[in-house]
Amino acid sequence: KSLIDEYIYFYNHERLQLKTKLTPLEKRNQFVS
């Protein structure tokens, strides 16, 4: 992965977290179920 890929992932991850107000663990559980 390039630095840009990492940044995009981080950026999207943070935005999703703000939007859904979930912790990373809760979000991971959502994806699993």
Q: Does pTM top 0.85 for this prediction?
A: no
Under the banding of pLDDT at 50, 70 and 90, the label for residue 5 is very high
Q: How far apart are CA 14 and CA 1, in angstroms?
A: 18
Q: Which domain holds residue 7?
A: 3-32
For residue 10, what pLDDT is reported?
Answer: 85
For residue 3, what pLDDT is reported?
Answer: 93
Q: How far apart are CA 21 and CA 12, in angstroms?
A: 14
Residue 27: how many other CB atoms lie within 10 Å: 14
For residue 23, what pLDDT is reported?
Answer: 63
Inform me whether the pLDDT recorded for 2 exceeds 90: yes
Domains held by the chain: number: 1
For residue 4, what pLDDT is reported?
Answer: 93
Read off the pLDDT of residues 8-33 as tens digits, 9 standing for 90 and up.
Answer: 888 877 776 666 666 666 666 766 65
